[in-house]
Amino acid sequence: MKVLIVGAAGMVGRKLVAALLAAGQVGGKAITSLTLADVVEPSPPGGAVPHTLVAADLADPATASRLVADRPDLIFHLAAIVSGEAEADFDKGYAINLDGTRHLFEAIRLAGQARPYCPRLVFTSSIAVFGEPLPAVIGDSHEHTPLTSYGTQKAIGELLLADYSRHGFLDGVGIRLPTIAVRPGKPNKAASGFFSGIIREPLAGLEAVLPVPDSVRHWFASPRAAVGFLLHAAAMDTSLLGHQRNLSMPGLAVTVGEQIAALERVAGPGAVALIRREPDATIAGIVAGWPKAFAADRARALGFVGDASFDEIIAIHIADELGGRIAGR
């Protein structure tokens, strides 16, 4: 099976590539080639699977045609301009997140006009398709209420995915990823950054700033769980989806206070002491409009498995990013 990953250089993309290479197969079919595309050419993966590395500008329709020219059997579409940038740069966000997605779907449809072609396409949507007013627990049939251009573009991607699947142009699964925690790497400027920062920094012996009250509740999945969702979507029986091709993934609804309690259980009070409370009304205001919890009943019934606890999410970070070691221990 030929696999194409669009957005292979991002955090989730790199972990997905590693998981695919480790498994060597998807749904029992051996991976025979891997094409890794991103706006900058991805790093070469290890392993014995033949691979192609592509620097790809999705805003150019010719890029998508080139990417599907060898008719991959399985396509992961992870590429996106992130929320903050898509909000600040209206044109760029629409050019990549809407037009880029449509170019990819169109390239697949047009390839199928030459001879039959209907690849599995796994699309990463986001809980950003939802914003206030929201119920405490968002059900599987709640309307899209995006409060960002990014969320709007992801919601449109979901609609296109369903329509292209209904016509038989592709075999799509859209998965709404929870906020990923613990996100590895340096602190960034994203409004959501502190959700990972208050765990990641103390585990590395560094101070972290907490800009919101302990009572704030949000919806999380570990990077490992996110990769698991992608792999399950790649191999699942899509006939079970009907025409509803997009699914809220099973995350964990956890308050900041519960995050901190988990940190203390895993790493002790010294780690917790590194969290500095510095209330920020702007960030608190943004976060207040975000989803807090999802039912995710459909995804669970279809075999998607989230993390068991926030302690487990922290343990995954320590195992996968820190070589099993906590700073100062």
Task: Give the nearer residue to a second copy in terms of CB position, either 186 or 243.
Answer: 243
Nearer to a second copy, 139 or 213 (CB): 139
Single residue of 143, 239, 269, 282 touching a second copy by CB under 8 A: 143
The DSSP line for 262-305 is: HHHHHH-HHHHTTEEE---HHHHHHHHTS---B--HHHHHTT--
Tokens representing residue 175 in the block: 């998965």
Interaction pattern, residues 228-257, with a second copy; x per rule: CB under 8 A: --------------xxx-------------
Answer for which of 35, 83, 97, 152 binds a second copy (CB under 8 A) is 152
Task: Give one DSSP letter per residue of 211-246, joined into a string.
Answer: -S-TT-EEEEE-HHHHHHHHHHHHHS-GGGGTT--E
Residue 40, CA distances (Å) to 89, 223, 224, 227 in order? 19, 22, 24, 21
313 interacts with a second copy by CB under 8 A: no
Nearer to a second copy by Cβ, of 101 and 259: the residue is 101
User: Which of residues 59, 61, 65, 145 is near a second copy by CB under 8 A?
Assistant: 145
Round to whole Å and give the CA distance between 201 and 181: 12
Q: Which stretch binds a second copy (CB under 8 A): 23-31, 142-150, 291-299, 320-328?
A: 142-150
CA distances from 178 to 5, 36, 69, 127 (A): 20, 24, 32, 6
CB-wise, 20 or 191, nearer to a second copy? 191
What x-and-dash track marks residues 282-311 binding a second copy by CB under 8 A? ------------------------------
Under 8 Å between Cβ of 289 and 147: yes
The torsion region of residue 205 among left (phi > 0), alpha (psi -120 to 50) and beta comes to: left
Q: Which is nearer to a second copy, 167 or 277 (CB)?
A: 167
Nearer to a second copy, 63 or 152 (CB): 152
CB of 109 to a second copy, least distance (A): 8
Pairing of strands 217-221, 275-277: unpaired
Q: Is 164 one of the annotated active-site residues of the chain?
A: no
Count CB atoms within 10 A of the CB of residue 201.
Answer: 22
Candidates 34-42, 65-73, 141-149, 221-229: pick the segment binding a second copy (CB under 8 A).
141-149
Rounded to whole angstroms, the Cα distance separating 249 from 225 reads 10
92 contacts a second copy (rule: CB under 8 A): no
**CB of 97 vs a second copy, minimal distance in Å:** 11
Stretch that binds a second copy, among 26-34, 160-168, 280-288, 314-322 (CB under 8 A): 160-168
Residue among 65, 3, 71, 59 nearest 32 (CA): 3
Residue 295: C-alpha distances to residues 63, 116, 229 (Å): 38, 37, 16
The one catalytic residue in 94, 117, 150, 164 is: 150
Chain positions 107 to 136 lying near a second copy, rule: CB under 8 A, are 109, 131, 133
- Using CA atoms, how far residue 117 sits from 195, 269, 277, in Å, is 42, 56, 54
Beta strands 51-55; 33-38: pairing state: parallel
| Beta carbon nearer to a second copy, 27 or 168 | 168
Size of the site for a second copy (CB under 8 A): 24
Interaction of residue 269 with a second copy, rule CB under 8 A? no
How far is the C-alpha of 148 from the C-alpha of 192, rounded, in Å? 14
Catalog residues that contact a second copy under the rule CB under 8 A.
90, 109, 131, 133, 141-147, 149, 152, 155-156, 159-160, 162-163, 166-167, 242-244
Task: Cite the active site residues.
Answer: 150
